[in-house]
Amino acid sequence: MSSVLELKGIEKSFGGHPVLRQVEFALEPGKVVGLLGPNGAGKSTLLKIAVGLLMPDAGQVRVFGEPPSWQSLARIAFLPDRGHFARGLKVEAALAMAARLYDRFDRGLAEAVLKDAHLRPGTRLSELSRGQEARLHLALCVARHPELLILDEPLSGLDILSREAMVETVIGTVSDEAPAVLITTHDLDEVEGHFDEVILLQEGKVVLKAEAESLRVRYGSLRQMYKEVMQP
Amino acid sequence: MEPIQVAGITFRLDPGKPLYEQIVDQVQGALARGDVKLNERLPSVRELAQLLKVNPNTVMRAYQDLERGGLLMTYRGQGTFITDKPQPVERLKQDLAYRAVAHLVNEMRRLGFSREQALALLQEVKWS
């Protein structure tokens, strides 16, 4: 089985300070993988490198077997930790924009997700709650029928209902289309049942990569695993 | 985790054990006890994953495992059902009973009890 995403020997420094050191892992089709680690471990940098938004100083990135390019980007949906949309835009304009940008954009699917979130097309983005905004961004991601879905802290700062709704949308997408999913999160309680595999990043290095089910047996829970492995 | 009732099955998942095994065990337990009826429709992979807050791949794996044991049947476009035949359920009950007894025997032997002593205890012990 060929990997959806393959990273080899990735190195990245900012201003002489190493952020990623010899990072290697592969993501298989249909797997949901949690990329965990404390703030500043390099998770977001790694995701940006994976989708080609940042160049590594050394190492190799392969997405669907090729270096990242605009062709591979069309098959990836990336939810950054902070969304950037013009605040004056209306929801429907955001949808129209996405539909123009992306060939495979499924407007019906996006609208269904938004309807669940009680998001009306005429609402301005500046009037959205944080939870609604997050769900708009997620709707735009899943409606592209991505083969690789990358979510950077999708639940942070959201209330419990929005968090549950976000998780439900992701489960729905995984059930229906089985994309590979890479998620960074600190909200382990909500998502620990969803990972096939877990990668732990600490100070820019992969310190653990294992199947979630075996970690549950070894540590009692992923939360416990995180605590034990991250102990200084 | 809070227990979740679905189609007569009570799911109670412990985050410290393989989730896939727990789903299989809990469906089997419900079948053995008769909590869930033959030919009963089960939630789709997607629905059960959402209810239990687990990865759909985990539910899919559990369903496939149960299908291999003849306990579930999936019909394209119609969904997943408990088998309509009593034989696989009877076989399952036997299997589970043997496993439970084997476990008990091992434990009693480990503690130094003879077969006679164990049987005597079984006679004495309150069943309900």
- Count chain A–chain B contacts defined by CB atoms under 8 A: 62
Which residue of chain A has the CA closest to B15?
A221
Q: Most A CBs within 10 Å: which of B57, B60, B63, B64, as the mutation test of the A interface?
A: B57
What lies within 8 Å, CB to CB, of B69 at 6+ separation is B88, B92
Q: Which residues of A touch B19 (CB under 8 A)?
A: 193, 213, 216
Q: Most B CBs within 10 Å: which of A160, A194, A215, A217, as the mutation test of the B interface?
A: A194
Instruction: Give how far A17 is from chain B: nearest CA, Å.
Output: 37
Q: How far apart (Å, rounded) are the C-alpha atoms in residues B16 and A227?
A: 14
Q: Which residues of chain A have pLDDT under 50?
A: none
A228 contacts chain B (CB < 8 A):
no
What lies within 8 Å, CB to CB, of B11 at 6+ separation is B3, B4, B5, B22, B23, B26, B51, B52
* Cα dihedral B14/B18/B23/B24 (nearest 10): -140
Tokens linked to A105: 């954009």
A193 and B55: CB-CB below 8 Å? yes
Q: Which residues of B touch A218 (CB under 8 A)?
A: none
Indicate the pLDDT class of residue B77, thresholds 50, 70 and 90: confident
Q: Tell me, what's the pLDDT at A88?
A: 84
Q: Which residues of A touch B16 (CB under 8 A)?
A: 216-217, 219-221, 224
Q: Which residues of B touch A174 (CB under 8 A)?
A: 49, 55-57
Q: Which residues of A touch B50 (CB under 8 A)?
A: 168, 171-172
B46 and A171: CB-CB below 8 Å? yes
Give per-residue pLDDT as tens, A169-222.
999 899 888 899 999 988 888 888 899 999 999 999 999 999 999 998 888 888
Instruction: Give how far A223 is from chain B: nearest CA, Å.
Output: 9
Q: Tell me, what's the pLDDT at B16?
A: 84
| Full strand arrangement of the beta sheet holding A205-211 | A76-79, A148-152, A180-184, A32-36, A197-202, A205-211
A192 and B58: CB-CB below 8 Å? no
Q: How far apart (Å, rounded) are the C-alpha atoms in residues B27 and A5?
A: 35
Q: Which residues of A touch B46 (CB under 8 A)?
A: 171-172, 175-176
Burial of B38 (0-12, 13-18, 19+ CB in 10 A): middle
Of A32, A168, A214, the CB nearest to B55: A32
Burial of A81 (0-12, 13-18, 19+ CB in 10 A): middle
Closest CA to A150 of A24, A48, A230: A48
Give per-residue pLDDT as tens, B3-58.
888 888 999 998 888 999 999 999 999 999 999 999 999 999 999 998 998 999 99
Q: Which residues of B touch A195 (CB under 8 A)?
A: 55
Closest CA to A154 of A50, A95, A78: A78
Per domain, the residue ranges of chain B are 4-84, 87-124
Query: Which one of 1.10.10.10, 3.40.50.10860, 1.10.533.10, 3.40.50.720 gives the CATH number of domain B4-84?
Result: 1.10.10.10
Q: How far apart (Å, rounded) are the C-alpha atoms in residues A85 and A70?
A: 21
Q: How far apart (Å, rounded) are the C-alpha atoms in residues A163 and B52?
A: 15
Q: Is the dihedral of CA A44, A49, A50, A52 positive or negative?
A: positive
B15 contacts chain A (CB < 8 A):
yes
B19 contacts chain A (CB < 8 A):
yes
Q: How far apart (Å, rounded) are the C-alpha atoms in residues A153 and A163?
A: 11
Beta bridge mates, A33: A182, A197
- Outline where B3-114 has alpha helix (H): 19-33, 45-52, 56-68, 86-110
What are residue B92's phi and psi, to 5 degrees? -60, -45
3-state secondary structure of B105: helix
What lies within 8 Å, CB to CB, of A54 at 6+ separation is A12, A45, A48
Give per-residue pLDDT as tens, B78-121.
899 999 999 999 999 999 999 999 999 999 999 999 999 999 99
A167 contacts chain B (CB < 8 A):
yes
Q: Which residues of A touch B49 (CB under 8 A)?
A: 171, 174-175
